[in-house]
């Protein structure tokens, strides 16, 4: 195998693929990165057996030559050293060559590295996903969906299914839901022209998080297909494959209250700032608790109190306040997480009582829903 590649192209491809490579893996060869060259270009592959990422560098793109002098072949090289080497090479182009003993030579300018490689035949074969059951989505929208829900997955393995994001398609609507059982985040978007029946899968939150890092928000097309316990996200030059989580995701829609006792309209930014200030005295090990109390004249009071430290109180005026008076305590962290992903100047918060979940939504968009369970102070 041999080729000469533009260094910048190689750097960004290597960075993407490294997201899937872990130094701690049960299968030793997976600590390496597979490089494959053919007439069309080169393919880099990394995998930790949960996630597999393939990045493709086309030999030629829009008349620009990325890869030249290609001699077909493949090899696996040690991923631990490769990214730093590529990043620090002196020239704009990099020549990579491997011989029949898997000895790899990397040349750039006057620098030359000789690395020990491994036989690419020993690298696990990726399942060849046939895109039978697939749909397209724009990358910027997909990134939004991930950002607005992925943070709410559970970090604990107590209920493994909750470490994933539940993705459903029903009635031409794509729906992302995540909950760690203390808060829930969901967003739906219309999906046109999907022929497939309803589907319901759970994708590990970690996978989506990595995918979000790799995807550009240029709005390019992402094809999503699901098969055999795997999900594949495919763009022109990237294949991102993740295993799915086994098990049934709990039915959450019926847990979302459909009535409300107290409804607030409030400016998002102001509320974020006020709660952020109050949380300065709220301690993490005590659930970051802040208290919200409704006052007369369209005022809210946000307070927090740590017996050893002191207390803070701040009033904030709201656009409107309807319904019963309320005193409720909740985690400032959950509240800030939820408010920050709502990219809207105004939010509506609907409460149904001090011990019941409350719902935060953008003022003019009910496709996004953030739900938070309050804390009970003893």
User: Residues interacting with another protein, by CB under 8 A?
Assistant: 155-156, 158, 179, 181-184, 250, 252, 255, 285-287, 289, 307, 327, 329, 331, 353-357, 371, 373-378
Angle in degrees, CA 262, 268, 273, rounded to 5: 110
CB contact at 8 A, 271 and 330: no
Give min distance, CB of 48 to another protein, in A. 21
218 vs 248, which CB is nearer to another protein?
A: 248
- Residue 162 structure tokens: 């909750």
Give min distance, CB of 171 to another protein, in A. 24
Beta bridge partners of 95: 4, 107
183 vs 187, which CB is nearer to another protein?
A: 183
- Residue 193 structure tokens: 């022209």
98 vs 179, which CB is nearer to another protein?
A: 179
In the 8-state DSSP scheme, what is residue 374? -
Q: How many CB atoms lie within 10 A of CB 169?
A: 20
Beta bridge partners of 5: 67, 94
Give min distance, CB of 356 to another protein, in A. 5
319 vs 377, which CB is nearer to another protein?
A: 377
269 vs 327, which CB is nearer to another protein?
A: 327
CA 74: distance to chain centroid?
31
Q: Quick one: residue 375, left, alpha or beta (phi over 0 = left, psi -120 to 50 = alpha)?
A: beta
88 vs 376, which CB is nearer to another protein?
A: 376
C-alpha separations of 251 from 2, 51, 178, 284 in Å = 53, 26, 11, 30
44 vs 292, which CB is nearer to another protein?
A: 292
Give min distance, CB of 159 to another protein, in A. 9
Give min distance, CB of 320 to another protein, in A. 24
Radius of gyration (Cα) for the chain, nearest Å?
25
116 vs 158, which CB is nearer to another protein?
A: 158
Give min distance, CB of 295 to another protein, in A. 16
Give min distance, CB of 205 to another protein, in A. 15
CB contact at 8 A, 21 and 46: yes
Residue with tokens 């609907």: 350
143 vs 291, which CB is nearer to another protein?
A: 291
Residue 92 phi/psi, 5° resolution?
A: -75, -20
Give min distance, CB of 377 to another protein, in A. 5
Give min distance, CB of 282 to another protein, in A. 10
CB contact at 8 A, 156 and 167: no
Residue 73 phi/psi, 5° resolution?
A: 150, 180
Q: What is the per-residue burial (b if ≥16 Cβ within 10 Å, else e) of 233-257?
A: bbbebbbbbbbbbeeebeeeeeeeb
Q: How many CB atoms lie within 10 A of CB 344?
A: 14
């Amino acid at each position: 195998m041999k080729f000469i590649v533009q260094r910048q192209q190689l750097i960004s491809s290597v960075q993407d693929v490294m997201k899937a490579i872990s130094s701690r893996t049960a299968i030793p060869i997976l600590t390496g990165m597979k490089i494959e060259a053919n007439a069309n270009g080169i393919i880099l592959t990394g995998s930790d057996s949960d996630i597999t990422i393939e990045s493709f560098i086309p030999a030629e793109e829009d008349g620009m030559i990325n890869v030249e002098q290609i001699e077909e072949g493949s090899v696996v090289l040690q991923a631990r050293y490769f990214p730093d080497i590529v990043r620090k090479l002196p020239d704009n182009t990099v020549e990579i060559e491997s011989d029949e003993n898997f000895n790899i030579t990397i040349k750039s300018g006057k620098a030359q590295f000789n690395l020990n490689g491994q036989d690419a035949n020993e690298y696990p074969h990726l399942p060849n996903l046939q895109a039978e059951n697939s749909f397209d989505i724009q990358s910027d929208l997909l990134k939004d969906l991930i950002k607005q829900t992925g943070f709410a997955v559970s970090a604990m393995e107590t209920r493994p299914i909750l470490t994933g994001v539940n993705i459903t398609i029903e009635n031409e609507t794509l729906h992302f839901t995540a909950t760690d059982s203390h808060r829930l985040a969901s967003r739906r978007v219309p999906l046109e022209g999907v022929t497939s029946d309803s589907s319901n899968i759970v994708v590990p939150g970690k996978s989506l998080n990595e995918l979000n890092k790799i995807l550009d928000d240029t709005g390019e097309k992402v094809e999503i297909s699901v098969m055999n316990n795997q999900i594949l996200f495919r763009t022109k030059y990237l294949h991102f494959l993740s295993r799915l989580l086994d098990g049934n995701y709990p039915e959450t829609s019926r847990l979302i209250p459909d009535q409300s006792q107290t409804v607030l309209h409030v400016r998002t930014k102001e509320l974020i700032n006020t709660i952020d200030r109050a949380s300065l005295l709220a301690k993490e090990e005590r659930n970051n608790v802040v208290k919200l109390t409704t006052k007369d004249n369209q005022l809210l009071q946000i307070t927090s109190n740590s017996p050893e430290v002191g207390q803070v109180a701040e009033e904030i005026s709201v656009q409107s306040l309807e319904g019963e008076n309320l005193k409720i305590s909740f985690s400032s962290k959950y509240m800030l997480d939820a408010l920050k992903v709502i990219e809207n100047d105004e939010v509506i918060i609907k409460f149904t009582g001090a011990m019941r979940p409350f719902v935060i939504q953008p003022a003019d968009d009910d496709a996004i829903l953030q739900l938070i369970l309050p804390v009970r102070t003893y």
